[in-house]
Amino acid sequence: MADQQQYVRYREDSKVLAAIGAHVDAQVGRVTVRLPRAVAEAAVAAWDRDELGGLGDETHEQYALRDQAAELALIGLAISQRGRWEDEELVIDLDVASVGAALRASR
């Protein structure tokens, strides 16, 4: 029974986290970032890639890697649609969620 109450608390915690997210989204929305050419081109390549294999059972680590690859592909899509080159850097306004995913991956 104690375990179930723990998940009730977690559900309430997730509601508070979502409320914080709603406030942050209203204040930030997009973040302008500068990326080196190689990284920007790799992100676009991830978006352009076709994954032909189906999904089988995944470990938690495999799921996390696939999730990060999907986040990278979405950044590649944003770069393709609205990125602009300034010398050897790409300048892009990324959604704060994409920036957060990239920051989590770097840690």
Strands 30-36 and 84-86, sheet pairing: unpaired
- What was the pLDDT predicted at 24? 85
Q: At what angle do helices 96-106 and 60-82 cross, to 10 degrees?
A: 130
Structure pTM? 0.81
Which amino acid is present at 64? A
Weakly modelled stretches of the chain, pLDDT under 50: none
What values do phi and psi take at 40, rounded to 5? -65, -45
Residue 35's CB: how many other CB atoms inside 10 A?
19
- What was the pLDDT predicted at 25? 83
- What was the pLDDT predicted at 1? 53
Please name which of 38, 36, 32, 12 lies closest in space to residue 78, comparing C-alpha atoms.
Answer: 32
